[in-house]
Structures are given as C-alpha cells and as structure tokens.
Amino acid sequence: MATGNIPAQDSLSRTMTVAKVYEEKYSESGSIQVTFYESARFYKILQSNLNYKKYISLLKEAIKKQQPVCIRFTKPNGDIIESVSKIKRSK
C-alpha cells in the first residue's frame, strides 16, 4: 500500500492512527484524552492550546475516515499533543 507524502518524523512528531478521543467525562479537567493504535499510552490536548477545537475536530475526522494524522508533541516522549495535522497523500 502506498503511503503518499508522509512527513519525516523527528523526536517530536509521529504519524499515528487515532483510536479514541475521550471527552471531559473520562479525561482530566482542562484537557481531552486521546489514544492511538500505535501506542498503549494515553495522550492529551490541553484546552489552553490555541487550536484546541480545530485539533479535536481533526482527530474525530481521522477516526471517521480511518486515516492517520501527524501528531507533534511538546517534548520528546511526552504525552501532551502540541499540534495535529492531516497527512497529504498523493493520488
């Protein structure tokens, strides 16, 4: 299967497939919890992130379309998501 234009990964970025986005009931106050198929860890997006709503929308869209996204973390091996972006695929 061709993967298209998947960006190079560094210690802060990973291409991941979203398993679930946990709303307030299951996440700690002030954040949304996210799980990915590639990792058993729980990750979070803080509501203080300027693009919080946009990133939640991208994650939910990725679940619906079963497409991976590029996740950038605030620090290497960290659990706080700094940004979420779509992967551009060639046709």
Kindly give, in sequence order, each residue whose CB lies less than 8 Å from that of residue 58, ignoring residues fewer than 6 positions away: 69, 84, 85, 86
Name the average pLDDT for the chain.
86
91 pLDDT above the threshold of 60: no
Stretch 55-77: mean pLDDT, rounded?
A: 95
Q: Which domain holds residue 22?
A: 18-86
14 pLDDT above the threshold of 50: yes
Stretch 47-75: mean pLDDT, rounded?
A: 95
Euclidean distance between CA atoms 3 and 1, whole angstroms: 6
Domain containing 65 — which CATH number?
2.40.50.340
- Determine the pLDDT at residue 83: 96
Euclidean distance between CA atoms 41 and 32, whole angstroms: 14
Stretch 68-85: mean pLDDT, rounded?
A: 94
pTM: 0.80
The reply to whether 63 falls in a domain is yes
23 pLDDT above the threshold of 70: yes
The reply to whether 6 falls in a domain is no
Domain count, the chain: 1
Question: Is 87 within 8 Å of 15 (Cβ atoms)?
Answer: yes
Tokens for 87, please give them.
């992967």
User: Which alpha helices (DSSP H) does 1-91 contain, by range?
Assistant: 52-65
